[in-house]
Amino acid sequence: MPSFVQSFGSFSATLHGVIVSSILVAGMLVSLLGGILADRYGRPRMIALGSLIFGIGAAVETTSVTLAMFIIGRLIKGVGEGIFLMTVYVLVAEISPAKRRGTVTNITQIMISSGIVSGYLICSLSWRLPLALQATVALINAAACSLVPQSPRWLLMKGLTEQARHTIAQLGIAAEEQEELFRQAVAGIEHSPDLSFFDSVKETLHGFKDAFAAPVRGRTIFGCFILAMQQYSGIDGLLYYAPTIFRQAGLRSTQASFFASGISALVMLIITVPATLMCDMWGRTTSSLVGGSLTFFLMLLIGSLYAAGKVDAHHGVARWVVIVSVYLWACVFSATWALGLRMYLIESLPRKTRSSGASLAQASNWLANYTVALTTPVFLASSSFGAYYFFAFMTLFCTIMCAFFMIETKGHSLEYIEQRFTDRQSNAKSILRRRRLGGQNFALRNVQ
């Protein structure tokens, strides 16, 4: 923004990446502790604490008089975001009825898209204004968490059965799902509130060990993989640097490129609303495969036009093909991968490692996000097509892995999904055991 440059001066593409990505460094590290804190103190409390810290960081940014102070504010915001972000998805998934869990959980994505649109519109005024509003919203959110119910699954994990029954009655969870929940819930304290912070950290490491134990290792690794690939598809490269991307395509003025970026955010919001309402109709697997295939094609098209030298910033059809493809890419991603991948992660993790596994996956997401935020401006400055090819083929790789390893989870209770994964692993072991026995019998017959 011109007003930001007037305050702090111009800087290189590398420093641009450092400033933008600084929030992700703190978020990535703190998110590793987010799961254990949410398990000990409850989901709403950690969302409130994270929102409070985030609001303080946004206030520091708003009042910044030096670039160093601005970056410190972003680091503080990263700490808050690391505490609350994945906890929001875990909480909403755990309090939602199975038949509408996808829609309810992905209301979060509608709010994210609304925030992006608001950001682009407000940022046309003064760089301090959106940060001041951000601080205000974060503090309001922290206060509003007192109205949010605890997760009934968390209450059962703590042995608070009567409170869990009361909460379940308020949430309108179906009787069949209630029976399954109570039947499979394990009473007793998972993480004792009497532990010191040091012991809590040790227990966090133990929780990570459980997340990589044999029965659930594959789900944890796959969850970390798909959340990293969600970033390597290029979504935050597009959101962070959309004005730069549109200027490269031919919208030469800062105002025009910024306006185009705001329109792309508005289009994403418009698409996200019906996609959220319909996400429980077409499922996570279909969403992942269709979305991955289409976004791969669009990124490949953009990169190929630049690589072939067809995009002229002043005339020609190719630049408009690039601009339209960026809009289409944003629409497809918003309707598919933005909703389905994170939802599948939460649904696929078992109760015992849901928080720790989600924390690990969020850390992998932020690590990927950090590399994208740090390198995209340098990438775009050094190569007109390299970034697009990278995003395209990372998307293709993830889509292929989803085709092989995802199972459909829509419409089922979290307990049923956990049992389904257990049965699948048992069947795989039985098949492997039969193959080994068959091989031994074949060898024995040959010896005879």
226 occurs within a structural domain: yes
Query: What domain range is 381 assigned to?
Result: 2-163+183-412
* pLDDT given at position 188: 41
What is the average per-residue pLDDT within 240-263? 69
Give the other-Cβ count within 10 Å of 197's Cβ.
9
End-to-end CA distance of the chain: 82
Number of CB atoms found within 10 A of residue 446's CB = 7
In our burial notation (b when 16+ CB lie closer than 10 A, e otherwise), range 94-121 reads bbbebbebbbbbbebbbebbbebbbbbe
For residue 425, tell me if it sits in a domain.
no
Residue 177 domain-assigned (yes or no): no
Q: Cα-Cα-Cα-Cα dihedral of 275, 279, 282, 287, to 10°?
A: 70
Task: Kindly report the pTM of this predicted structure.
Answer: 0.69
SS3 breakdown of the chain: % helix, strand, coil, rounded to 5?
85, 0, 15
Q: What is the CATH number of the domain that holds 247?
A: 1.20.1250.20
Question: pLDDT per residue over 127-142, tens digit each?
Answer: 888 899 999 999 999 9
Q: Is residue 171, in this structure, part of any structural domain at all?
A: no
Query: Is 349 within a domain?
Result: yes
**Of 174 and 398, the one with more pLDDT:** 398
The separation between CA 1 and the C-alpha centre of its own chain, rounded to angstroms, equals: 27
Identify whether the C-beta of residue 402 lies closer than 8 Å to the C-beta of residue 290.
no
Which has the minimum average pLDDT: 42-46, 142-146, 249-253, 357-361?
A: 249-253
The answer to whether residue 419 sits within a structural domain is: no
Q: Where are the alpha helices (DSSP H) in 250-317?
A: 254-282, 284-307
Q: What DSSP character marks residue 308?
A: T
Whole-angstrom distance, CA of residue 415 vs CA of residue 351: 8
Instruction: Using the structure block, give the residue that is written with the tokens 């030096």.
Output: 66
How many domains does the chain contain in total?
1
| pLDDT surpassing 80 at residue 195 | no
427, part of any domain:
no
> What percentage of the chain has pLDDT greater than the value 70?
85
Given a cut of 70, whether residue 442 has pLDDT beyond it is no
Q: How many angstroms separate the CA atoms of 160 and 182, rounded?
A: 12
DSSP per-residue codes, 154-223: HHHHTT-HHHHHHHHHHHT--HHHHHHHHHH---S-SS-TTS-HHHHHHHHHHHHHHHTSTTTHHHHHHH
